[in-house]
Amino acid sequence: MSSHAVWSGNGHTILYAPYEYEYLVAPERFWNPDAVHRFFAHHWSSSIYIALGYVVIINVLQRIMENRKPLSMRPILLLWNGMLAVFSMMGTWRFGLELYHMLTTRPFTDSVCFSVDPTGPASFWACMFAFSKIAELGDTLFLVLRKRPVIFLHWYHHAVVLIYCWHSGSASAVVKGTSFKDFHGFKSIKNLGLWLTFSEKTVFSKEPWG
């Protein structure tokens, strides 16, 4: 394996492949990996309660909407999908720079065994990705209020990915990358395409998606 650097914090030692960004965008300047790891270490289990509450609320809302007309939410959906598309675009771009550099300049084993820089922008966006799993629960709310079917795979995916991402944070995976790095990289690309598609359908289709 190639050369690496070492980061230590909160009782964890992380080996990472050094990468220097040309510049930081505004929110990245406030990144604090120590504080984030402490947060996930103490509160990752909250994601389980959030996921359970999400499932209960969705079922209750479905019952409430049974005898009501579906809501028309095109402007809100456009704003919602557009915001998530922009967020995914930023995350894919900033995280992707470091991941692409690692994949193209170092042995493949390094991309599996080494982290992205825990103090750098890639880790910041990995953290934001984990937090965004809460916001994405709103997708199901829109489906229910518009009386669209909510299949098992939809709500199960939202609940499980939320718990996985937060638990990864407790194990330093959000901070250090490793297996979470590859998951986040490919998931960001997928989400970007998803939200752009939903935004386009909201504008041009008679029945908006999302």
Active-site position among 157, 158, 167, 184: 157
Q: Report the range of poorest mean pLDDT among 101-105, 133-137, 148-152, 186-190.
A: 186-190
pLDDT digits (tens, 9 = 90+) for 77-132: 888 888 888 888 888 888 888 888 888 888 887 777 788 888 889 889 888 888 99
For residues 103 and 114, what is the distance between their CA atoms, to the nearest angstrom? 11
Is the pTM higher than 0.85?
Answer: no
pLDDT digits (tens, 9 = 90+) for 25-65: 989 999 988 888 888 888 999 999 999 999 999 999 999 99
Domain boundaries, the chain: 5-201
The verdict on whether 157 is a catalytic residue reads: yes
CB atoms within 10 A of CB 111: 19
